[in-house]
Structure 1
């Protein structure tokens, strides 16, 4: 994989470009994709954004979201765009496997493939150009850097600013995580200078849910939270029946895993949700406990040092037992 700086000189001139992200995209994945979309459109390119799956409805406020193709719903049109693409940008994921049913198609494409991502252990061999930087707060910050360093900061319009700011806010935990370096605040300062209304974005991200979600959160925290003070660990679980009872949609569980971290002494939190085909895990930690290694070793996952995800094909009860055994094995790291 060659340095992304080598494509700066190639940014001018009309190209057919596809931007894609990981399945079930969050604010950083969607925000970085649409932020880059608005930038490349201003340079005159023909740009299509494709999501491997559906996404949370509370991301629909982002300008351009109505133009995003859902690969599972619009496979024929999406495959046509992918086949015609001269450039493929892969944002907020570093393995094609994170794109679910798109993975095979992406691997077979012969176009120029460009990676922009901040997760660990990238599959560099699959990309022609790119940047992988785990020290960055978010992929949105990396897209901002890409635009600025290529000499086109003036092409960041208000729509791009809102999308990029949303991803930074989400992935830094509203600027609380250690990844919030000075560069993040410099970026936000510039976006404010060009007219960003940050309150509007915060309300769209955090004050844009239905009543059922609030009642669901209350139910889980009251009835599905188990705290192991001996191992400084908390775990929550959600059954398939509960997601149906509370009419939980994509994105409604976003942020739930963070709540138990507010408990004094807790170093690791695990949340497992029973899906149709598998059990989905989310992990969060404080301090020096490595969620990425933990997720990779026990739950076929990965991510960041203090935030990662995983999956398991075992039953809900079996995967909960596996988590309990795993934290026992790691007890010395949790003290």
Structure 2
């Protein structure tokens, strides 16, 4: 994988470009994709954003979101667009399998694949150019670096600023996580100087849900959260019945895994949701407990040191038991 800086001189030649992100994109995935979309469009490229799956309705406010193609919903259209691609940008994921059913199609393409990502252990052999920096707060910060590093900072407009700010804000926990570096604040200062209304973006991300989500969260915290103080761990297990009862849609469970970390002494928070095809895990930690390693070792996952995800083909009850066993095996690290 060649350094992404080697792509800078090639940006002036218009190309047919596809941008994608991981399945069930969050604010950083969608924000980085759309931020890059608006930038490349200004340089004269023909650009299409394709999402591997549907996305949370509270992301629909993002400028350009109405142009995003849902691969699962419009596979024939998406395949046709990808077949024409000269450049294929892969944002906010480190291995192609994170695009779910799109992965085989991406692997079959003969175009130039480009990676911009901040997760650990990227699949570098799959990309011609790229940048992978785990120290970065978000992929949105990295897209901002790509734009300014290529000498096109003057192209940043309000649409781009809104998309990029949304992802940085979300992935830094509204700037409270350690990854909110001086460079992140300098980026935000630059976006503000260009006219960004950060309050409106915050409301679009955090104050844009339906009543059922709040009632769902209350139900989950009261009835589905278990605390294991001897292991400084909290577990939330959500059944398919819960999802149906509260009419939970894509994105409605985002952020739920962070709630137990507000409990004094809790070092590891885990959330498992019973999906149709598999059980999806989210892990968050405080301090020196590495959930990336934990997710890779026990749940076919990975991510960041303090934030990771995983999966299981076992039943909900069985994967919960698997987690409890993994928790006990990690006792020394959790009890420090």
Give TM-score scaled by structure 1 length.
1.00
Q: Which residue of 2 aligns with 1:230?
A: 230
CA shift, 1:64, in A, is: 0.3
C-alpha distance in structure 1 between counterparts of 2:264 and 2:56, whole Å: 31
Q: Deviations over 1:225-265 (max 9, x none)?
A: 10011110000010001100000000000000000000000
CA shift, 1:295, in A, is: 0.3
Q: Which residue of 2 aligns with 1:249?
A: 249
Q: Deviations over 1:198-218 (max 9, x none)?
A: 000000000000000000000
Q: In the alignment, is residue 95 of structure 1 matched against residue 99 of structure 2?
A: no
Alignment of structure 1 residues 25-64 onto 2, 5 Å? 25-64=25-64
5+ residue gaps, structure 1, are: none
C-alpha distance in structure 2 between counterparts of 1:233 and 1:73, whole Å: 38
SS in 1 for 2:53: coil
C-alpha distance in structure 2 between counterparts of 1:267 and 1:174, whole Å: 20
C-alpha distance in structure 2 between counterparts of 1:115 and 1:253, whole Å: 28
C-alpha distance in structure 2 between counterparts of 1:241 and 1:234, whole Å: 21
C-alpha distance in structure 2 between counterparts of 1:90 and 1:193, whole Å: 29
Q: Which residue of 2 aligns with 1:180?
A: 180
CA shift, 1:14, in A, is: 1.4
Q: Which residue of 2 aligns with 1:272?
A: 272
C-alpha distance in structure 2 between counterparts of 1:79 and 1:256, whole Å: 34
Alignment of structure 1 residues 143-158 onto 2, 5 Å? 143-158=143-158
Q: Which residue of 2 aligns with 1:192?
A: 192
Give TM-score scaled by structure 2 length.
0.99
SS in 1 for 2:231: coil
CA shift, 1:310, in A, is: 0.4
CA shift, 1:99, in A, is: 0.4
Q: Between Structure 1 and Structure 2, how many residues are aligned?
A: 335
Q: Which residue of 2 aligns with 1:296?
A: 296
C-alpha distance in structure 2 between counterparts of 1:166 and 1:300, whole Å: 29
Q: Which residue of 2 aligns with 1:311?
A: 311
C-alpha distance in structure 2 between counterparts of 1:316 and 1:258, whole Å: 20
CA shift, 1:121, in A, is: 0.3
